[in-house]
Amino acid sequence: MQNDASVPFILNFSPTEKQREFFLSDAKFTAYGGARGGGKSFALRYKLILLCLAYPGIRVLLIRRSYPELRENHIRPLCEILCGKTPIAKYRELEKAFDFFCGSHMLLGYLSSHDDLLRYQGLQFDIIAVDEATQIDEEMFLVLCASLRGANSFPKRMYLTCNPGGIGHGWVKRLFIDRIYRKGENPEDYRFIPASVYDNKALMEQDPDYVKRLEALPEGLRAAWLCGRWDVFSGQFFSEFDERKHVVSPISFPNGTRFYAAMDYGLDMLAALFIAVLPNGRAYVYDEIYESNLIVSRAAEKIYAKLKPDMTVIAPADLWSRSKDSGRSVSDLFADGGVYLTKIVPNRIDGWLALKEWLADMDGEPKLRIFPNCVNILRTLPLLLYDPKNHGDAATEPHEITHAPDALRYFASYCRGGMTEDSSLLRRKNRFGRR
């Protein structure tokens, strides 16, 4: 950015070292924060002002989850900064926009629901900023990214502030913390600048008890809000999951090991987990399939390739519903592919409780562990949130993260009391019915 270091003094404040690092970042996507009290919203406001002054004529969009948050956290402070004794912009209340006298334009908006995305579709912005990005889901983020364009020489960048937790925790953590990228995502485009309350000297001086209040929080909240830990956060359904305990290097399975596959199938996603239960009662998730847009025959091929003799394949009862047109069920189609399913009628809350029992310690070590190659169950299990309307259940949104945990829940429901009598018959079918 042009003249970044000099403009803050024109605006009469001295940035912290972390804020200065944020101001100078020219990555396409920059995320700032991680813990409470790091001065995130303050830094974001000034970052956008600096961009508007450094690039006359630039178009900027600032997003917050709700309008009340937008008004209190940004509109009022920006009016004081930009429209005060020495005005450098004019605010238009109806449009929720600031017009800078240098020709730049800053629009302020909110995303309370997916319906609000219609406000921004078709619009073009050079800079898009999302305050508290973990409060929006990945689809909202991607739709906003589509508006980051323009036939001009201005930089095209997105700036995010974030804390652990919230519906968007997963995609923010994937991109900026774990740095796991999909096809079309360039790792060089993403930069994370961590900041905590200890970096905010002004807050420490004005409110010295703030740190004490953070330190007094329950363990999970304290780890997320004070320390900025992304593996523990408020609302996490499986707070007992600890990667340091539950992830283990691959081992050889002894004689007497029972093998299971548990699957959650739909055209949107096949999530299948392959699990070994040792004679001593410990279980290991040793392999997985996680793939979308698979018709049943193709999904059956994928699972069939990983079947072991006597393996029980567990699936929910909805796969036995028969088509009105053909009179056949999805389970019939899997059987055509050599994959014979064992039906369970899962109760969500009971299943989650059973899974929590599997994750608990037995003789000082977790009863269930996961091999590191099972990246999708390791990614999604700790991201599940509590259902706000039913505290005993996990939330079903974001939907993408529910498939693999649901498959593991089916295993836990089926195996909480050992094998059932009829499962041995179906295991024999899988063994002797193979092509």
pLDDT tens across 286-304, in order? 999 999 999 999 999 999 9
CA distance 356 to 272: 19
The backbone torsions φ and ψ at residue 201, rounded to the nearest 5 degrees and listed phi first, read -65, -35
Q: Is the pLDDT of residue 425 over 50?
A: no
pTM for the model stands at 0.62
pLDDT for 84 = 85
pLDDT for 183 = 87
CB 45 within 8 A of CB 144: no
Q: Is the pLDDT of residue 434 over 70?
A: no
Domains detected in the chain: 7-225 (3.40.50.300), 243-432 (3.30.420.280)
Place of tokens 């399975």: 253
CB 316 within 8 A of CB 274: no
pLDDT tens across 308-362, in order? 999 999 999 999 998 877 889 999 999 999 999 999 998 999 999 999 999 988 8
Strand 190-195 versus strand 29-34 pairing type: parallel
Query: Three-state SS for 166?
Result: coil
Q: Is the pLDDT of residue 237 over 50?
A: yes
Q: Exposed (0-12), middle (13-18) or buried (19+): which is 413, by Cβ within 10 Å?
A: buried
Give yes or no for a cis peptide into 398 (omega within 30° of 0): yes
pLDDT for 82 = 93
Average pLDDT for 7-32:
79
pLDDT tens across 408-417, in order? 999 999 997 4
- What pLDDT band is residue 204 in, cutting at 50, 70 and 90? low
Backbone CA torsion sign across 346, 348, 349, 354 = positive
Per-residue b/e over 292-319, b at no fewer than 16 CB within 10 Å? eebebeebbebbbeebbeebbbbbbeeb
pLDDT tens across 41-95, in order? 888 999 999 999 999 999 999 999 888 889 998 999 999 999 988 899 999 999 9
Q: What angle do CA 112, 115, 121 make, to 5 degrees?
A: 110
Which residue did the predictor score with more confidence, 4 or 247? Answer: 247
CA distance 372 to 169: 21
pLDDT tens across 101-120, in order? 999 999 999 998 888 988 88
